[in-house]
Amino acid sequence: MRRPMMVLTALLAIAALSHAQVDGRNIPSKYGAPLASQTNYTGFGDRVSNDQAWGSELNQLFAKCVNGVLYIAVTGNLEGNGNSIHLYIDTGRSQSNSFSLTTGCINCSVQGMSGVPFDHNPDYVLGVNRFDDGQGNDNIYIDLHDVVNNQSTYLGAVAVGSGEGAVDQGIKAGFDNSNLLGVTSDPNNIGNPATATTGLEVAIPLSALGNPQGEIRILAVLTAAPKPVDRIAAESGADSEESVAHILEHLAANGRVKASKAGYSA
């Protein structure tokens, strides 16, 4: 089943500017005007209290290039249940607006986007998923996917709320999940995305993206974690895993779900 998504898209011209620490905090003050703002409510739940663990949303997308490093920031929230933010980056290398990714499974939700037609031609995807085990281990996990060459690399983890962290390939990241503002979950009153100031921030050396020249296009996508059939059955109250499998087979025949080696993923 194609997972529910929220999206933001932008076009960035490479330029030399200054930049502060990559910590996911005070994002608008570091980037200036956003390149894209959310026009939809969140279907993932709206985090409105510090006592609330659930809720995911995208509010605004920011980006700039400083001394050979691409900085990207997305204000919002990410629930610690495996939900992910994907950054689809078009550097001008690919001539296709879709891809087929079969490598890497730490962030399998990127694989689930194989075959989806985009409005740009993504070359790379930076996948960031969050998992909080409730025992003091709350991290974002970062993968870089080269969707032109079908290559996936796990880069490392950064603790949520810990400020700037370094992972492999010279990439830095920070995530602050304290946002209680931005868009709502009410389709009749979506709120104001500009009121959110914290979220995900990454710094990617252009060398990790093949040293592109010229414009870069970026799409930010919020997506849920893949779910196996047994979990779908348990959460939906279906009579059996077999009945869920029959439904998914019907949807697969109509291009509505993706079959994986381990079964179906929602």
Q: State the average pLDDT over residues 97-117.
A: 86
Integer Cα distance of 77 and 74 in angstroms:
9
- For the ranges 60-64, 184-188, 198-202, 260-264, the lowest mean pLDDT is seen at 260-264
Integer Cα distance of 74 and 103 in angstroms:
26
Q: State the average pLDDT over residues 185-205.
A: 98
| pLDDT tens figures, 119-170 | 999 999 999 999 999 999 999 999 999 999 999 999 999 999 999 999 999 9
Q: What angle do CA 45, 46, 48 make, to 5 degrees?
A: 140
246 has pLDDT over 70 = no
CB distance 50 to 99 below 8 Å: no
The strand pair at 69-77 and 199-205 is best described as antiparallel
Which amino acid belongs to residue 124?
Answer: Y
CB distance 63 to 204 below 8 Å: no
Which amino acid belongs to residue 204?
Answer: I
Q: Place 96 in a pLDDT band, splitting at 50, 70 and 90.
A: very high
Dmax of the chain from CA atoms? 58
Measured over the CA atoms of residue 197, residue 200, residue 204 and residue 208, the dihedral's sign is: negative
**CA nearest neighbour of 206 among 173, 179, 166, 170:** 170
Q: State the average pLDDT over residues 178-207.
A: 98
CB distance 148 to 99 below 8 Å: yes
| pLDDT tens figures, 5-51 | 556 665 655 444 456 799 999 999 999 999 999 999 999 999 999 98
| pLDDT tens figures, 226-236 | 755 555 556 55
CB distance 226 to 104 below 8 Å: no
Integer Cα distance of 11 and 59 in angstroms:
17
Q: Place 63 in a pLDDT band, splitting at 50, 70 and 90.
A: very high
pLDDT at 256: 45
Q: Place 191 in a pLDDT band, splitting at 50, 70 and 90.
A: very high
pTM of the predicted model, to two decimals?
Answer: 0.82
Alpha helices (H) in the chain, listed in sequence order: 27-31, 108-111, 229-236, 241-253
Integer Cα distance of 167 and 77 in angstroms:
21
CB atoms within 10 A of CB 232: 20
Integer Cα distance of 125 and 181 in angstroms:
27
Please give the structure tokens belonging to residue 55.
């809720």
| pLDDT tens figures, 64-82 | 999 999 999 999 999 999 9
pLDDT at 243: 59
CB distance 205 to 3 below 8 Å: no
